[in-house]
Amino acid sequence: MDLISILLGGLTSGMVLFIVSVGLSITMGLMGFVNLAHGGFAMLGGYAIVLSMNKWGVPFLPAVAIGFAAVAAVSMLLERLFYARLYRATELDQVLFTIGLVFVMISSVTLVVGPETQTLRLPDWLRGQTDLGFIKYRSYSLAIIAAGSVLVLALWLGFERTRFGAKIRAAVDNRRMAESVGVDVGRLFTVTFAVGSGLAAVGGGLGAEILGLDPQYPLRYLVYFLIVVAVGGLGRVTGVFFAALLIGLLDFVLKIEFPKGGTLFIYALTLGLLLWRPQGLFGRRGG
């Protein structure tokens, strides 16, 4: 494989990681809530998207919208009913609750849909290759890269240029201070949680080709999503973006060069990095 196709392949998996993980980073940064069930929302979204396409013949883009809306609604309900009661609980309780939730998600999906792997059937306009002038590459990968780039731009603008984004940034930096100047952090959290889970759902669907989609998905990629968030620093859109690209690219290259045990290097890198900067590459100290 030549350099450019490796770069594009890595970029694709990086974008998928970014779309899935960005919500996790923001919600963890806002509330310090250890949400191990985030990958579960990505899986639910993936199923919603794939099944609505395969079973009911919904076209690709509306299916993605359905996945986003359905998972955002479900996560908002869960947040109001359960998560909200655990904000002030210990980490241990949060870990327990979210692991339990992952188990419930895995077994419900297995019971309702079945344990087999689901495949995403792409629409015609995303199949085949696109000529970029200097290289021909899979259209679908290019579409994911484009979608990820648009998303990061939109999120960045939303964070830096809107009032809502300013509130989130303030609350991530200092929740108490933000609350005492009148920011309703609880409501902020509900909205970001729903949007973040919805984005994870989109990532789960778009990435079904790359990461696969079966009931074990949330546990298999749990460590990866957490690594992206921890390396990027909590509550930073740009941090997650660069971390996801870095991890995605590294993972892609290592899997080609060292099919056996190549991920060892990623774990070692994360360990070293977190020891050097516990707040992540782009996080702020004491946030």
Partner 1 sequence: MTQLPAAELLAARHRFRGWEALPWVAGIAVFFLFPSYLAFGTQVLVTILFVLSLDLVLGYAGIVTLGHAAFFGTGAYTVGMLAMNWGWNEPLSGLLAAALVSGAVGLASGFVLLRTRGLTLLMLTLCTMALLEEASNMGSAWTGGFDGMPGLTFKPLLGLFPFEQLSFRPQYLYALAVLFVCFIVVRILVHSPFGQTLTGIRENLLRMHAVGAPVHRRLVTAYAISAALAGIAGGLFAQCNAYVNPAVLGLDRGAGALIVLILGGYGRLYGAFVGAVAYMLLEHTLAKTYPTAWQLGVGLMLMAVALYARNGILGLGESLRRRLRGDTGR
Any contact of residue 111 with partner 1 (CB under 8 A)?
Answer: yes
Q: Of the two residues 59 and 278, which places its CB atom closer to partner 1 in the complex?
A: 278
Q: Of the two residues 68 and 242, which places its CB atom closer to partner 1 in the complex?
A: 242
Which residue is it, tokens 């009032």? 163
- Find the binder of partner 1 among 4, 62, 73, 107 (CB under 8 A): 107
Q: Of the two residues 62 and 278, which places its CB atom closer to partner 1 in the complex?
A: 278
CA 217 from centre of chain: 13
Cβ 109 to partner 1 shortest distance, Å: 10
- Find the binder of partner 1 among 50, 101, 210, 243 (CB under 8 A): 101
Specify burial of residue 169 (Cβ count, 10 A radius: 0-12, 13-18, 19+). Answer: middle
Q: Of the two residues 123 and 278, which places its CB atom closer to partner 1 in the complex?
A: 278
Cβ 253 to partner 1 shortest distance, Å: 16
- Nearest partner of 45 among 115, 100, 120, judged by Cα: 120
- Find the binder of partner 1 among 1, 3, 61, 275 (CB under 8 A): 275
Any contact of residue 84 with partner 1 (CB under 8 A)?
Answer: no
Which residue is it, tokens 């939109």? 154
Cβ 254 to partner 1 shortest distance, Å: 11
Q: Of the two residues 104 and 146, which places its CB atom closer to partner 1 in the complex?
A: 104
Any contact of residue 106 with partner 1 (CB under 8 A)?
Answer: yes
Q: Of the two residues 111 and 150, which places its CB atom closer to partner 1 in the complex?
A: 111
Any contact of residue 278 with partner 1 (CB under 8 A)?
Answer: yes
Q: Of the two residues 31 and 237, which places its CB atom closer to partner 1 in the complex?
A: 31
What's the per-residue H, E or C state across the chain? CCHHHHHHHHHHHHHHHHHHHHHHHHHHHHHCCCCCCHHHHHHHHHHHHHHHHHCCCCCHHHHHHHHHHHHHHHHHHHHHHCHHHHCCCCHHHHHHHHHHHHHHHHHHHHHHCCCCCCCCCCCHHHCCEEECCCCEEEHHHHHHHHHHHHHHHHHHHHHHHCHHHHHHHHHHHCHHHHHHCCCCHHHHHHHHHHHHHHHHHHHHHHCHHHHCCCCCHHHHCHHHHHHHHHHHCCCCHHHHHHHHHHHHHHHHHHHHHCCCCCCHHHHHHHHHHHHHCCCCCCCCCCC
Stretch near partner 1 under the rule CB under 8 A, chosen from 3-11, 88-96, 141-149, 150-158: 88-96
- What residues from 228 to 257 belong to the interface with partner 1 (CB under 8 A)? 230, 234
Any contact of residue 226 with partner 1 (CB under 8 A)?
Answer: yes
Any contact of residue 70 with partner 1 (CB under 8 A)?
Answer: no
Which residues make up the interface to partner 1 (CB under 8 A)?
A: 28, 32, 34, 82, 85-86, 89-97, 99-108, 110-111, 219, 222-223, 226-227, 230, 234, 260-261, 263-264, 267-268, 270-271, 274-275, 278-279
